[in-house]
């Protein structure tokens, strides 16, 4: 295991890019000691810890047009557009089994980033601290606002970690982590547009029980854009390493075009291959 912290941005099916990056790390037997996954980054990161290359990409590409995984059947059964029950049960136990034993035995620190709806704050949950099970925490981390129902864990309800903390690079810096690799699913220059007044009204109506969450939802673009600028500065200063798509990503969060998803996956692999020597020098340097 190397002294390396991975920070994995979300982005729903855009996470096939991250799958490509992580598959290359597994190819070169690079085992980070810390993995922070936000939203789909948490779902993807699980397969890195369980040492199952290609699994994450295979599921997202093969099942992207399956309505039980994404779509109407999932909505009818689970009250959300993502079929987590189908993913964590039928797919993960039968159709494309998840190696839970390897995941559980791993000494790697796997941390899911989740948003507390009542408090409007970010929480970081390590895999060994999940009283309700890791799948439930990862589901909470990847439950997109409006597309998914809230997930109750203990006394609180949770949603997508990206609502309150899209890319937790400062979490690692504040704890003195030395080698940090940030994997983005948008190009470096991408910035989110402001939340429209109409969408703010939707958030206020749908999440009226959670006023602190609504505040975070309405300010997501500004905070995300500030973090992207911050990451660019940190990269220029040599304090972190970043892997990101070279050009604007046209893959949507719930993309149905399998060829576009395959291309984005290959982009992730190629981009990591190009920098694998740099990463190896970084984590093997003395001092």
Across residues 277-281, what is the average pLDDT?
A: 94
The string over 113-140, giving b where at least 16 C-beta atoms fall within 10 Å of a residue's C-beta and e elsewhere, is bbbbbeebebbebebeebeeebbbbbbb
Q: 74 or 253, which is more confident?
A: 253
| pLDDT per position as a tens digit, 158-203 | 999 999 999 999 999 999 998 999 999 999 999 999 999 999 999 9
How far apart CA 66 and CA 64 sit, in angstroms, is 6
Residue 11 has pLDDT above 90, yes or no: yes
Distance CA 92, CA 69 (A): 12
Residue 184: name the closest of 7, 9, 5, 4 by CA: 9
Burial of 76 (0-12, 13-18, 19+ CB in 10 A): exposed
């Amino acid at each position: 295991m190397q002294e390396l912290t991975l920070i994995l941005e979300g982005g729903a099916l855009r996470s096939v890019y991250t799958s490509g990056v992580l598959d290359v790390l597994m190819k070169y037997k690079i085992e980070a000691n810390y993995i922070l996954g936000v939203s789909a980054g948490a779902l993807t990161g699980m397969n890195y810890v369980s040492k199952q290359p290609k699994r994450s990409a295979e599921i997202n590409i093969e099942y992207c047009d399956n309505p039980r995984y994404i779509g109407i059947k999932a909505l009818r059964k689970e009250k959300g557009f993502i079929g987590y029950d189908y993913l964590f049960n039928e797919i993960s136990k039968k159709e494309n089994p998840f190696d839970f034993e390897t995941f559980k035995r791993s000494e790697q620190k796997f941390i899911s980033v989740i948003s507390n709806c009542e408090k409007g704050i970010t929480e970081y949950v390590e895999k060994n601290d999940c009283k309700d099970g890791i799948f439930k925490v990862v589901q909470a981390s990847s439950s997109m606002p409006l597309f998914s129902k809230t997930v109750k864990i203990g006394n609180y309800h949770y949603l997508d970690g990206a609502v309150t903390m899209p890319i937790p690079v400062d979490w690692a810096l504040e704890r003195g982590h030395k080698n940090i690799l940030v994997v983005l699913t948008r190009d470096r220059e991408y910035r989110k547009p402001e939340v429209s007044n109409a969408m703010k009204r939707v958030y206020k109506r749908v999440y009226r029980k959670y006023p602190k969450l609504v505040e975070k939802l309405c300010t997501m673009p500004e905070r995300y854009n500030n973090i992207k600028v911050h990451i660019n500065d940190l990269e220029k200063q040599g304090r972190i390493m970043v892997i990101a798509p070279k050009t604007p990503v046209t893959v949507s969060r719930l993309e149905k075009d399998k060829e576009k998803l395959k291309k984005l996956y290959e982009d992730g692999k190629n981009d990591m291959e190009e920098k694998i020597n740099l990463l190896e020098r970084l984590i093997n340097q003395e001092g």
